[in-house]
Structure 1
């Protein structure tokens, strides 16, 4: 798995329009916190029990439609869930998996807030909120 900071991930997506950007956060995060423009949503885990989605790999395979050769970039809140999801995709045979480090909201600052030191939104990359 390759790891890209948000700006590099955005540049990669612009130069590789066939690549998929998948938001692996919960449905609530995806809709109410916001998400990168063009991101597809496939939750890695979701509430209320926060169990790993047993259909995650199959859902991504369906979206990729090519047996695992299509580049897939994964983003979550801070880069942790997306890394775990990427490992699952690699184990299932995906060969071009990218984790967006720092995720959508970035790392916690000294006051335990996000969006202040890193992340997709912090970097001013295009995003939307439903």
Structure 2
């Protein structure tokens, strides 16, 4: 049975990464989101679901295994925290024990006008990010 995935606020995730240099930070959004919307600095891009069909990436587990180990702290981020939670549960089911989910993700929750980056999230909180 899967354990729950600890949720870290974006600020707590940023501090966790600074205090744990061995930790790995993985952005599980699509490649296009990573490149064109922007991404946290130092995050690796390993899409959980990707275009064009938005199916689970068949290479996801292999790529994560190359980037980290089963017991190495690994933080996952997506747009709002939902895909990263799904990916984290998948990794737990495959033996990863130190998975963390970044609450609210990179762009955060939708506001009343259905816009992101206005309530919460990595970018809203002013944490280091870049756009390629």
Deviation of 1:4 after TM superposition, in Å, equals 0.6
Give the structure 1 partner of residue 75 of structure 2: 73
Give the structure 2 partner of residue 54 of structure 1: 58
Deviation of 1:58 after TM superposition, in Å, equals 1.4
Deviation of 1:90 after TM superposition, in Å, equals 0.3
TM-score (norm 1): 0.97
TM-score (norm 2): 0.95
Deviation of 1:55 after TM superposition, in Å, equals 1.5
2:31 paired with 1:27: yes
RMSD of aligned residue pairs (Cα, Å): 0.6
How many residue pairs were aligned? Answer: 128
SS at match of 2:96: coil
The list of structure 1 runs, each at least 4 consecutive aligned residues, that deviate by more than 6 angstroms after superposition, is none
Give the gaps of 5 or more residues in structure 2: none
Cα distance per residue 1:49-91 (max 9 Å; x no partner): 1000111111101111x3x011100000000000000001100
Deviation of 1:9 after TM superposition, in Å, equals 0.3
